[in-house]
Amino acid sequence: MKAGKDAVVRIHYTLSDATGLAIESSRERGEPVAVLLGRGGLIAGVERALEGRAAGEQFSVTVAAEDAYGPRREDAIQRVPKKYFQRPDRLKPGMVTTLALKDGGRQTVMVRKVGMTTIDVDTNHPLAGRELSFDIEIVEVRAAQPEELAHGHAHGPQGHPHAD
């Protein structure tokens, strides 16, 4: 079977920056990553590179910032009251933390400056504005199960618990 929209693809990958420095690898976690293609679970450049490929293929792809995490936005610095952070007293510039949003969601941010009552954060993705390189091995390509299609993501071998 070939990878395409609504197929589940299991891959091992190593992500590197433009200098060749490895940033992360699925092999460190041991298990390949499973993704339901066409549902936004991967950056656009990697998803396009997977289309039409089969299990057993290995390849490298370089993804421009626009097809990865987007360009870096200089207007993405925000001043946020400390009450929206867990343990704000431990935060220091350069740390990555999670910000509690008013709608109940969460957003990963980088601390830029810690003040008395507020914290300046950068809401850009840490890899925004960077060209990224991926070494990919396709472990499996299969048709998605009806439950995976309904949920919009791949499930593991034992299924996936949901609080429906």
Q: Where are the domains of the chain?
A: 7-69+128-151, 74-122
pLDDT tens for each residue of 66-99: 999 999 998 999 999 998 888 899 999 999 998 8
Which token pair is 62?
Answer: 């370089």
Architecture of domain 74-122: Beta Barrel (2.40)
- pLDDT given for residue 160 in this prediction: 55
CATH number belonging to domain 7-69+128-151? 3.10.50.40
One digit per residue, the tens of pLDDT, for the chain of length 164 reads: 999 999 999 999 999 988 889 999 999 988 899 999 999 889 999 999 999 999 999 999 999 999 999 999 989 999 999 988 888 999 999 999 988 777 877 888 999 999 999 999 999 988 999 999 999 999 999 999 999 999 998 987 645 555 44
C-beta separation of 11 from 136 below 8 A: yes
Q: What is the pTM of this model?
A: 0.78
CB atoms within 10 A of CB 143: 11
Q: How crowded is the C-beta side of 21, counted as CA atoms within 13 Å?
A: 6
